[in-house]
A and B are shown apart, each in its own frame.
Chain A
Amino acid sequence: DADVTQTPRNRITKTGKRIMLECSQTKGHDRMYWYRQDPGLGLRLIYYSFDVKDINKGEISDGYSVSRQAQAKFSLSLESAIPNQTALYFCATSDGQLTEAFFGQGTRLTVV
Chain B
Amino acid sequence: GQNIDQPTEMTATEGAIVQINCTYQTSGFNGLFWYQQHAGEAPTFLSYNVLDGLEEKGRFSSFLSRSKGYSYLLLKELQMKDSASYLCAVPTGGGNKLTFGTGTQLKVEL
Chain A residues in the interface with B (C-beta under 8 A): 4, 31, 33, 35, 40-45, 48, 50, 58, 88, 90, 97-98, 100-106, 108
Cross-chain pair count, CB within 8 angstroms: 55
Complex Cα gap A88–B103 (Å): 15
Asked if B58 lies at the interface with its beta carbon under 8 angstroms from chain A, I say no
Complex Cα gap A58–B93 (Å): 10
Chain B residues whose C-beta falls within 8 Å of the C-beta of A90 in the assembled complex: 42-43
Number of interface residues of B (CB under 8 A): 25
Whether B102 pairs with A45 at a CB distance below 8 angstroms is no
Complex Cα gap A49–B38 (Å): 27
User: In angstroms, how far is the closest chain A Cβ from the Cβ of B77?
Assistant: 24
Q: Which residue of A lies closest to B44 (CB)?
A: A103
Whether A43 pairs with B87 at a CB distance below 8 angstroms is yes
Whether A43 pairs with B100 at a CB distance below 8 angstroms is yes
Whether A41 pairs with B40 at a CB distance below 8 angstroms is no
Q: Which of A41, A50, A101, A102 counts the most chain B CB atoms within 10 A?
A: A101
Complex Cα gap A48–B97 (Å): 8
Complex Cα gap A64–B33 (Å): 27
Complex Cα gap A98–B50 (Å): 10
Complex Cα gap A33–B99 (Å): 12
